[in-house]
Homo-oligomer: A and B are copies of this chain.
């Protein structure tokens, strides 16, 4: 059996290597590739992806898994080998249920859909995107059918991003959260608006870059095993546990944008730098789920990076870098400025108090598309109606409304809820962390983050994708994902900022 396990690992490692090659090719594509290189790059990526798929779904892999699955039952359930076999078997089952023709169709349809979406968004004309999105939805419904029987047609999609989590669980969480978030927002809206004019003056790029680097270096981002570059959309990518890179972007008139994005991506990256070395070259060297991944980025960006303790330490340093821009702005004013709540049209610009509402709206529409209760043609109207209902604003056009996100054009239905769940998990972990490190706030106000990072390494990072997300979160906090810690966090924070 050891020989079979070794052979299985060798095959899985080759698939992992190909995935890492794809990641390098994709990173370069977004960061340094000259414009002319696109067509060749597409060919290379297609060849590698197809080889990886062939290798992963080959007959030998199926036979090895059939023999290894019963063997895994005899192992310690927490052992790397048991988790590896189980996670690979789950993915193998998923990938082999999907016919090759569907994959080919899906690739073709989403390639065209993305081009149509770009045009539609530029022209703010949903009609251009509509027929493509209809095909995407049809394909995604067909995809779900490969996994029948299911409790909910949305379950197989959600499973692609949150292994094991059910639609009913997400709905229950969101149903509890929604009224509380809406109520909080109403209370805040009744209060005087915060002045954050100092955020909207030019901050030079090098100063932003240097400050961001100083912050994440103190966080514990390991530059010996990573680097930062610029790209149009910030992202984190990894080519192995010892090469985890981030990107950022600069908007001269929105200085906070690059800084918080750098902290966010460093949060993702420190997660991946923290996987146990024993998981190297295995698919277990991955985040437990998108929500758990997002919990790490959100924690460093928001619970740490937008806290008063953090700025007690860093604000004097920021003022030193930008004395003109911050002249006469007190720490208190700065803190309130970066935490200003303002219902807005665009998800990626939303503050902590409104962000989840953007997500709930999307989840409801996605579920409607999947269960047939919502037609693609009705999306723009429904979108605007829900925006008014949840956030009190109505998009003046579809570019600022239903066309703002790239996800649907790429067929990524099921992804959105993980953003909000990530927020919830971050606060849930944070309560546990505060129990375990009572003086953390004081540490942060002295620029010390090693205890926090060590806690995350021990309880979250090193496990990688060994456990399903709900299982991991329960292991650490005693329950599955729940909304109350996040609401407590928001309430406490904004009560102070807005004198609620």
Which residues of A in the span 19-35 have a Cβ within 8 Å of any Cβ on B? 20-21, 24-25, 27-28, 32-35
A171-224 interface (Cβ within 8 A of B): 222-224
In the assembled complex, A14 has its CB within 8 A of some CB on chain B = yes
- Measured CB to CB, the closest approach of chain B to A449, in angstroms, equals 20
Complex Cα–Cα for A227 and B41 (A) = 15
For A1-42 the 0/1 string (1 means CB < 8 A from B) is 000000000000110011011001101100011111111110
Q: Please, which residues of chain B bring their CB within 8 A of the CB of A51?
A: 14, 51
Pair A33/B281 contact, Cβ less than 8 Å: no
Q: Which residue of B lies closest to A229 (CB)?
A: B32
Q: Interface residues of A, CB < 8 Å — how many?
A: 41
Which of A44, A229, A240 has the most chain B CB atoms inside 10 A of its CB?
A: A44
Copies of this protein in the complex: 2
B34 touches A24 (CB 8 A): no
A37 & B223 in contact (Cβ 8 Å cutoff): no
Q: How far is the CB of A150 from chain B (nearest CB, A)?
A: 36
Q: Which among B14, B27, B40 is the interface contact of A242 at CB below 8 angstroms? A: B40
Interface of A is mostly: helix
For the complex, is A390 an interface residue (Cβ under 8 Å from B)? no
Determine the chain B residues whose CB is within 8 A of the CB of A287 once the complex forms: none
A446 on the B face (CB < 8 A): no
Given known A14-B47, A47-B17, contact A41–B240 (CB-CB < 8 A): yes
**Min CB–CB distance A246 → chain B (angstroms):** 12
A298 to nearest B CB, angstroms? 25
Note all chain B residues with C-beta closer than 8 A to A36. Answer: 222, 224-226, 242-243
Cα A87 to Cα B271 in complex, Å, equals 48
**CB of A239 within 8 A of chain B?**
yes
List the B residue with the shortest CB-CB distance to A31.
Answer: B32
Docked Cα-Cα span, A227 to B34, in Å, equals 7
Residue of B nearest to A27 (CB): B28
Q: Does A496 count as interface, using CB distance less than 8 angstroms?
A: no
**Known contacts A34-B227, A36-B225: A17-B243 contact under CB 8 Å:** no
A159 to chain B, nearest CB (A): 28
Is A241 in contact with chain B by the CB < 8 A criterion? Answer: yes
**In the complex the two chains form, is B225's CB within 8 Å of A37's CB?**
yes
A48 / chain B contacts, CB cutoff of 8 Å: 17-18, 21
Is A280 part of the binding interface, using a Cβ–Cβ cutoff of 8 Å? yes
A435 within 8 A of B: no
> Are A21 and B25 in touch, CB under 8 angstroms?
yes
Asked if residues A32 and B227 are in contact (CB atoms below 8 Å), the reply is: yes
A29 to B, closest residue via Cβ: B24
Query: Is the beta-carbon distance between A34 and B240 smaller than 8 angstroms?
Result: no
Q: Is the CB of A44 within 8 A of B242?
A: no
Which of B17, B34, B47 contacts A224, CB < 8 Å? B34
Contact of A17 among B43, B227, B229, B241 (CB under 8 A): B43
Task: Using A28-B24, A225-B34 as known contacts, say yes or no to A239 and B44 having CB atoms under 8 A apart.
Answer: yes
CB-CB contacts of A474-499 with B at 8 A, as 1s and 0s?
00000000000000000000000000
Closest CB in chain B relative to A269 CB, distance in Å: 11
Given the complex, which residues of B lie within 8 Å of A223, measured CB to CB?
34
Chain B positions within 8 Å of A225 at CB level: 34-37
Q: A18-B48, A21-B25, A43-B240 are in contact. List 8 more A-B contacts (CB 8 A).
A: A14-B47, A20-B44, A24-B25, A24-B28, A36-B242, A37-B240, A37-B243, A38-B242
Between A and B, 6 residue pairs with Cβ closer than 8 Å are A24-B28, A34-B226, A36-B242, A39-B240, A39-B242, A40-B281
Which 5 pairs across A and B sit closest by C-beta, in order of nearness? A40-B240, A37-B243, A36-B225, A17-B47, A36-B242
